[in-house]
Structure 1
Amino acid sequence: MADLFDSLPSADRPAAAPAAETGPRPLADRLRPRALAEVLGQEAALGPEAPLGTMLAAGQIPSLILWGPPGVGKTTIARLLAREAGLHMVEISAIFAGVADLKKVFEEARQRRRAGQGTLLFVDEIHRFNKAQQDGFLPHLESGLITLVGATTENPSFELNAALLSRAHVVVLTRLGHEALEAMLARAEAELGARLPLTAEARAHLLAMADGDGRSLLNMAEVIASWRIAEPLGPKALGQRLQQRAANYDKSGDGHYNLISALHKSVRGSDPDAALYWFARMLEGGEDPRFLARRLTRMAVEDIGLADPQAQAVCIDGWQTYERLGSPEGELALAQAVIYLALAPKSNAGYVAYKAARALAKKTGSVPPPKHILNAPTGLMRDQGYGAGYAYDHDAEDGFSGQHYFPDDMARPDLYQPVDRGFERDLGKRVEYFARLRARRGGS
C-alpha cells in the first residue's frame, strides 16, 4: 500500500535499487518514504515523545497494532520499522492467508532465528482473522519468534482478541490533514516534473476529494498529470473528469459508531446545523435511513422525553413518511425530524427515573404491594384484608386520595424529577401540587 513521503526533490533521494525497480512503477510506490523521519502527517505516533519514537529511541520494537484509515502509512511504517530494527520482514494479508500460510511463516522464522536473524511479520487487515487464528500468534509472540505488526482500519477493541491486544501496543494513525496532503501533492509534482494543470480552487477541491487518504491523492494526481489540456481546470471540470471517491464509512464498523455518536450528541447539544451535517454524512456513506429513523426516535425518548412529547410523534411520522415515499424524498422527512429534535427542549428526567425504578425494583425483590390496593374477587381474599381501606380517588376531594401505593415498609422514593424546561416545566408544577396534597392528607 502506498503511503507518505518526504518533500525532498527526487535528486536528493537515495538511489533506487537498480534491478528490482527499473520497470514502470506507480507514482504512489515511487514516493514511498525511505526513513521514518520522512513520513508525513503522523507526528503524534512518530515524534520523539510519541509511542513509536520512544520505542525506537530505546532500541526495542515490540509487537504493534497500527490502527488507522486507508492511505495513512500503515504498510510503509511497518517496512521502515523492520529496516530500523534490522529484522527480516514478511508481509501477508489476512484476507488471503490461511493456517498453512502461517505455519510456513513460523517455520521460516525458526530457521532465521537459528541463523541469528529476527522476523517482523506484517499482517494487513489483521481484524479479518478469526479468534482461533488470532490465538495462533500468541505462543510465537511470547517466545519472541516473531515481532508482529498488524494493520487494521477497524477498532481493535471490538475486532481483536483481548489476549492478542494484551501482547501488542496499539498505535493510532490519523487521516492526513490539509497541510500533509498539500506537502504530498507538492512532492508528487516534483517527481512528475510539472505542476498539475489546476486552478487554486480545483487544487483545493482535489485535496478535499482525497479525504485524508494519501494513496488516493497520489493516484488522482498521476491521472491528472496524464491529461493533455491547454488551460488549467476549475473545480467543476475536475469533478466531471474525476469521479468523487466515496467517503470512508463502514456501515458495520468504527465509522458507523463514530458518526452516529456525533449525530446523537449534536442533537442532544441543540445544534441543528451540526446534527444535519452528521445526518448527511451518514446518508452519503450509504447508511440505511431506517436505522437513522430508529435512532432519531430513540433520541426523542431518551434526550427530550416529556419536555416535548410531540418530538416522538415527529420522529414516528418522519419514519412512516420515509416508508411511504422512499428515497430521496422520504429522507427530507427524517431531516426535518433532525432539526425538530435539535431545537426541542431537552430532558432525560424520564430516562433517569426509569433507570432508578429498575434499580429499585431489582433491589427490593418480590416484596408485595400493600393490601389496600389489591383486588378482592373472592371472600377468602377479602378475609385476608385484600382491598380493605382503599380510597377511590374519584370520590376524594380534587380527585386525589393521597394514599400510599408503595410496599408497606418502603419509604416513598423521589424517582421522577422533572426539569424546568419545555412541557416538563408544567409537569413539575403538577408533581409539586400532588406532593402538597399528599402531605396535607397524610399519604406520605
Structure 2
Amino acid sequence: MDEPGSARELIDTLCSRFDEFRFPEVSDGTDGPLGWPGYDERRTQAREKTGESESVVCGVGTVGEHRAVLIVSEFGFLGGSIGADTGARIVGSFERARTLRVPVVSLVASGGSRLQEGICALRQLQEITRAAVLARRDGIPHVAVARHPTTGGMWASLTAGADLVLASPEATISFGGSRVRDPGETGLAFTAEGTFEAGQVDRVVPRSELPTVLTSLVHLLCLTLATQPAPAEVPEAPRTRELPDSGGAATQRARAADLPRASAYLDRYLQNRFELSGDRSGAIDPGMLCGIGERDGRAIAFAAQTGTATTPAGFRTATRLVGLAERLAIPVLTLVDTPGAANDAAAERAGIGPAIAGLFAAVAEATVPITTLVVGEGGSGGALALAAPERTWITVDGYFAVIAPEAATAILKRDPSEVDEIANRLRLRPQDLLELGFVRGIVGTP
C-alpha cells in the first residue's frame, strides 16, 4: 500500500510552487460547539504533531505548466476529519477556483465528519457539496484523488462527487468505515481496486505516477476552460477502400477481425487523452471508451464503442461523458461500432432500456456540438443512441441498420440463406445511408 505521507510532502511532489490560502477560523466556544471535554487539548496536540492548524491544507499550486486550486487532507490531524473550520476552508477554496478560473484538485484522506463537533461537523458536507456544485455550474472542473483512507462523508460528498476520481492502490475507500460496519464485512469491495471494478473510480494510480498523471490531467482540464465549443472535426480513416457493392459485403467488412477499431481512430485523432471509467452505479463496460483528449490545443470529449454489444454500464458511462462535456462546454466526438445493445437477462436486470433512454436524452439535450463517425457496425438503437442527429458520418467500412440482417431475416420468418437479400433490402451500405439522408458524408473513399 502507498503510504499516505503528510499534506506538505504530497504538495511538494506535485507543485513547483504553492501559495497557501489563509482563512479566518469560524469555530468558537471552549472545546468546540458542543463543549466536548478535552477537544481543545486534542486539537492542540494535533497542531503540534503535524505543524498544521487544521486537517486540510488549501492553496493554489503550479502543476506542470498550469495553476490549480489544491485541497489536501492532513490525515495526521485528527484522522483528516472534517469540522467547521475544515469545511470553511474547502468552501473558500472552491470560491477561489471560480474567481481564478482554474481546476480544483482535491487529495483526500479522511475518516469523515468530526465526532466532537457533532451535527455542526456533519452539515459541512452540505456546504462543501453546494460549493462544488456552484463551481461546476461555472464550468470549473474538479478531479479528486482518494488516498488511504477515504471513508464516510468525505467519500460520499467531495470525492465521489468529483468530475474525475483517481485512487491510491489498496487504499480503503468506503462510506462505512471499518469501525462502524459489521466486523465481518471486509474484502475487495472496500478498497480502491474494488471501487474501480464497481465503476466508482476512473483509475487507480500509484503514488510514484501521480505527479505525471495529474500534470497531464490538469493540462487537459485547463484546456477545457479555454476551448470554444466548435464542433469536433470528423476523423480521417486509417485506410481507404472502394465502397461495398452489396449489403452483405458491407456487414462483412464491419465485422472483419482486421477492422480498425476505436483506439486506432483515437490514437490518430488526439495528441493525448485521459479515459474515464465506470457508470458510477456499480459497473464498467470495457467496450465503451470515454474520456477527454487534446486535439491541436483544444479539449475534445469522446465516447467510442469498440465492436462489442453495449451493456447498461456502457450507455450510462457515455451519458456521464456527455453530461461532463456539457458542464465543461467542450465538443464531443462519438464513434459508433456495435452489433447492438446487450439483450441478455443480465442486461435487462441492469436496466438496459432506461440506460439507452438516458443516453438518447443526454444527446438530445446537449447544447455542445456532437460529431459522430460510424466506424463499424451500426446495430439498431444501441448504435443510434450514440449518434448525433444531423451530424453523423460513416466510413467505407461501416453500415447502419434498423436491425442486423440475420435478425431481420428471423423476424420475417425467411430462410437463413436469404440474409444477403435482406441486407440489400435494408439499404444499410454507406452510399445508401448518404442517399437516404442519414449521414452527411462518407470517410475513407479513395
Specify if TM > 0.5.
Answer: no
TM-score calculated relative to the size of structure 1? 0.26
TM-score calculated relative to the size of structure 2? 0.25
Structure with greater helix share of residues: 1
Task: Name the larger-Rg structure.
Answer: 1
